[in-house]
Amino acid sequence: MRWVPTTQGVALSFSNCSACHLLHGDDGTQVPGASALAGNPVASPLFMPLHHANRIVGRVAPFQSLVDEPFGISLYRAYGVPWLQNGDNERLKSMTANDFTAFRVFRGGAVLRWNGSPFYPVKVPDLIGVKDRKYLDHTATHLHRGIGDLMRYAAMVSFADSADFGPHHMLSGGAKRVETRLPDEALYALSLYIYSLKPPPNPNPFNEKAKAGQNIFAREGCISCHTPPLYTNNKVTLAEGFTPPNVKSATLDVLAVSVHTDPGLALKTRKGTGYYKVPSLKGVWYRGHYLHDGSAASLEEMFDPERLSKTHIPGGWLPPGMKTRAIKGHEFGLKLNPVEREQPIAFLRTL
């Protein structure tokens, strides 16, 4: 909480977006819009549910339960996927507060989100350059056509994301959402500010090594998905195992291929759409973690074929209780020889 000056005097406010989207550099510099967890080996516990008496309050999109219920049922209301018959739902329902402690701190920039899942967390995205992105969220849950869409998105992810999915009402049984949101004027100002965000000065030179990497980037066909100058084609790709419907939504620009990354977020959570958006590669030099769950902690790890092995120790997100895990998918560049592998890395760091 903080006191802020307004046209009507001093008012009590809180830092919502900056908790996740303000990168603090080792030298004391700050990068507004960049992931607060970029480069951190262990993420802060950004979602800390507090359970006492008949109330549970989450770090994002809080709700209040008016009846006393087991801790696990409250977790199910926040993260359960009732239309899927799998062990995740039952595991949530039976969790105690002590059980959930292991999920409060995620290694590698991955955090819990309302309608997400502790089993399939998401990497905090970079907001710099969002003005040029067609979709919002890793699974393209929201279309971004202009500032009105960003205003609505900011209101929804803070306090108003739906808890109803067809016949499934996740907050039944006496639970309700906290009924508040920022006024339109504040949402408009916030969106203008997000549109104005600029990347920090890039210290990486475009030298001969980077130029060679640019040629490899084009030769290997990377520009078909990561198209200059935005270094994204602003399309969505298929999650592995997802078959899109015959009638395609008019708002979706689909690249009908899969890069075979972990499909859990797209297929096993309430944020699941069956798709992942093609991310922009601009600014990858300061982002710190890669893929939608932040599994890889560096570009070197992304280009290391060893990461496909089950004995790999990820530098980024690792599920609680696991010591090794394969980082599957997005195998482009893994067959380059060691010398060539360094060149596209040098190029990407100049973007």
* CATH code: domain of residue 335: 1.10.760
Q: State whether 125 and 222 are in the same domain.
A: no
At residue 127, the pLDDT reads: 95
Is the pLDDT assigned to residue 302 strictly greater than 60?
A: yes
CA distance 76 to 93: 6
Q: When comparing pLDDT for 1 and 73, which is higher?
A: 73
Q: State whether 259 and 184 are in the same domain.
A: no
Contact 265, 125 (CB under 8 A): no
What is the signed CA dihedral for 15, 17, 19, 21, rounded to 10 degrees? -140
Per-residue pLDDT tens digits for 130-188: 999 999 999 999 999 999 999 999 988 877 777 888 999 888 767 777 667 788 998 99
Q: State whether 233 and 307 are in the same domain.
A: yes
Q: State whether 252 and 135 are in the same domain.
A: no
At residue 303, the pLDDT reads: 96
At residue 55, the pLDDT reads: 43
Whole-prediction pTM: 0.88
Rounded to the nearest integer, the mean pLDDT of the chain is 86
Determine, yes or no, domain membership for 11: no
Determine, yes or no, domain membership for 54: yes
Q: State whether 84 and 179 are in the same domain.
A: yes
Contact 265, 293 (CB under 8 A): yes
At residue 21, the pLDDT reads: 87
CA distance 93 to 115: 15
Tell me which residue range forms the domain holding 141: 16-196
Q: State whether 94 and 123 are in the same domain.
A: yes
Q: State whether 120 and 95 are in the same domain.
A: yes
Contacts of 221 (CB under 8 A, 6+ apart): 332
Number of domains in the chain: 2
Q: State whether 114 and 164 are in the same domain.
A: yes
Determine, yes or no, domain membership for 4: no
Is the pLDDT assigned to residue 107 strictly greater than 70?
A: no
Q: Which of 152-156, 191-195, 237-241 has the lowest mean pLDDT?
A: 152-156
At residue 50, the pLDDT reads: 41
CA distance 212 to 245: 41
Q: State whether 157 and 102 are in the same domain.
A: yes
Instruction: Name the most confidently modeled range: 90-94, 191-195, 314-318.
Output: 191-195
38 band by pLDDT with thresholds 50, 70 and 90 = low
Residue 113 burial (CB count, 10 A): 28
At residue 330, the pLDDT reads: 97
Q: State whether 218 and 192 are in the same domain.
A: no
Q: State whether 249 and 173 are in the same domain.
A: no
Distances (CA, A) of 185 to 108, 116, 182, 188, 222: 35, 29, 8, 5, 41
Is the pLDDT assigned to residue 106 strictly greater than 80?
A: no
Q: Which of 112-116, 194-198, 305-309 has the lowest mean pLDDT?
A: 112-116
Q: Which of 108-112, 166-170, 193-197, 214-218 has the lowest mean pLDDT?
A: 108-112
